[in-house]
């Protein structure tokens, strides 16, 4: 478990979460069923009343993080350039004199493309104190290592919701027209995978699926609780507790929910199967990924039944297509990671991150030939292709005005990505 420092906690504005206790207790008191009003999304405002602005908020893990991890390192006064310059797109929201932010990819994430489709710019929540109108402009709470449960204070999904709740309380903003992008659960499936393969790693022949599914049951309960449920009580790093409402209780009724790619496709799962000399490991990864997907589908079905406005991005399905057709799309490697990123030691031991080291089979010139930049995260080209498949049929991608329309031609996409990386490395 990561022990968060005071500087890290401030990154997510958790120092004043006590404000939420009173607000949440009031919010949790619902009127009788026959007196409840329809969701805000179904109510018509008076003709002379201005419709609230529609904003975009993102919650998730490293698949959506576009700078919060970098800011966490920078806040602690250590080097935040954990990716080699020639292998990532530097991100300079405050100008080139400001410390560069990094994604764990070689290009924009699905979250960024989706925000762009809806007319927003996705900026790390850690920039709230540095940007004009920062509390509303710094709209991405996603960060590396985040899970859907509440294991890591200041990092995991419930704490992201808590930080968002504080923004709502402090600004008094009406979020009834806002959209929340949810892309969470990958790290929980990894945790379930680890729990399930313990017997095999110990020399046994069978995986413990029940142990893995128990992890995911807890995960799915947490997602439901902080999306549309009653929220919950979180323990802060200082030991105090605070009652945190769900996003729905805060007034969010428009959601974009993404499924997660099947874990069996990742280099880490394939490497684990090879290390343990057990092909069943990939079956474990597949079954647990599907189990989580079915649980997430059930949550989405309940959200729709309750008349929430829900857009579903079937990232799992589209990624499977890319994986299965990688050669036709111009990729040459779907099994290996391009380079090693040693970030976990930074969290575990408090040492500076080690810049990525290219594998023997990969170089700056061949990065976009790989599906994965490391053992888990897709390259920029893969994210671009996913965005092309997932977003172009959405209402936000209207005609030629949508900036989310990306060429589905693999070669032109790869060429564009390489040009951007080459330009970025010169900064």
Instruction: Quote the CA–CA distance of 350 and 342 in Å, as a whole number.
Output: 12
Is the distance from CB of 139 to CB of 150 less than 8 angstroms?
Answer: no
Please, which residues bridge with residue 340 across strands?
Answer: 357
Q: Is 290 left (phi over 0), alpha (psi -120 to 50) or beta?
A: alpha
Q: What is the set of domains in the chain, with CATH numbers?
A: 8-25+51-425 (3.40.50)
DSSP for 25-68, please give it: HHHT-PPPGGGPPPPGGGPPPPTTSPPPPP-EEEEESTTT-SSH
Which pLDDT tens digits describe the chain residue by residue (427 residues)? Answer: 222 333 333 333 332 332 233 233 333 334 344 545 555 445 554 545 555 679 999 999 999 999 898 888 776 655 556 666 655 666 676 677 676 788 888 889 999 999 999 999 999 999 998 888 889 999 999 999 999 999 888 899 999 999 999 999 999 999 999 999 999 999 999 999 999 999 998 888 899 999 999 999 999 999 999 999 999 999 887 888 999 999 999 999 999 999 999 999 999 999 999 999 998 999 999 999 999 999 999 999 999 999 999 999 999 999 999 999 999 999 999 999 988 776 655 555 555 556 677 888 888 889 999 999 989 999 999 999 999 999 988 888 874 544 444 444 444 555 555 444 444 444 4
Instruction: Quote the CA–CA distance of 181 and 164 in Å, as a whole number.
Output: 13
Is the distance from CB of 89 to CB of 211 less than 8 angstroms?
Answer: no
Instruction: Quote the CA–CA distance of 419 and 306 in Å, as a whole number.
Output: 46
Angle at 122 between CA 19 and CA 295, to 5 degrees: 75
Q: Which of 128, 149, 156 is nearest to 59 (CA)?
A: 156
Model pTM?
A: 0.83
Please, which residues bridge with residue 243 across strands?
Answer: 233
């Amino acid at each position: 478990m990561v022990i968060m420092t005071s500087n890290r906690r401030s990154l997510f504005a958790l120092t004043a979460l006590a404000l939420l206790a009173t607000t949440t207790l009031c919010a949790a008191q619902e009127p009788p069923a026959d007196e409840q009003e329809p969701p805000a999304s179904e109510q018509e405002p008076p003709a002379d009343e201005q419709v609230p602005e529609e904003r975009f908020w993102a919650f998730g893990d490293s698949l959506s993080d576009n700078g919060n991890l970098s800011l966490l390192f920078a806040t602690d006064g250590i080097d935040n350039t954990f990716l080699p310059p020639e292998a990532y797109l530097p991100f300079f929201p405050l100008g080139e004199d400001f410390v560069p932010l990094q994604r764990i990819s070689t290009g924009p994430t699905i979250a960024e493309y989706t925000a762009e489709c809806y007319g927003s710019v996705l900026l790390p929540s850690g920039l709230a104190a540095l940007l004009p109108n920062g509390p509303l402009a710094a709209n991405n709470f996603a960060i590396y290592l985040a899970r859907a449960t509440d294991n890591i204070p200041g990092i995991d999904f419930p704490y992201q919701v808590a930080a968002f709740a504080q923004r709502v309380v402090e600004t008094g903003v009406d979020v009834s027209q806002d959209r929340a992008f949810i892309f969470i659960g990958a790290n929980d499936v990894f945790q379930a995978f680890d729990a399930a393969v313990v017997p095999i790693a110990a020399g046994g022949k069978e995986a413990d699926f029940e142990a893995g599914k128990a992890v995911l049951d807890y995960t799915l309960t947490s997602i439901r609780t902080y999306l549309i449920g009653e929220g919950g009580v979180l323990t802060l790093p200082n030991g105090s507790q605070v009652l945190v409402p769900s996003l729905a209780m805060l007034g969010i009724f428009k959601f974009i929910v993404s499924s997660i790619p099947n874990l069996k496709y990742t280099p880490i799962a394939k490497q684990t199967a090879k290390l343990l000399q057990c092909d069943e490991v990939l079956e474990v990864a597949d079954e647990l990924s599907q189990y989580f997907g079915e649980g997430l589908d059930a949550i989405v079905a309940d959200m729709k039944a309750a008349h929430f406005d829900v857009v579903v991005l079937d990232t799992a399905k589209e990624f499977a297509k890319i994986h299965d057709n990688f050669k036709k799309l111009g990729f040459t490697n779907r099994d290996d990671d391009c380079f090693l990123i040693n970030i976990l030691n930074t969290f575990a031991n408090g040492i500076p991150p080690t810049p990525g080291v290219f594998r023997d089979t990969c170089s700056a010139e061949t990065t976009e030939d790989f599906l994965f930049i490391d053992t888990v995260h897709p390259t920029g080209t893969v994210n671009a292709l996913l965005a092309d498949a997932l977003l172009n049929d959405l209402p936000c991608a209207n005609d030629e005005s949508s900036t989310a329309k990306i060429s589905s031609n693999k070669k032109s996409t790869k060429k564009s990505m390489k040009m951007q990386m080459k330009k970025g490395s010169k900064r």
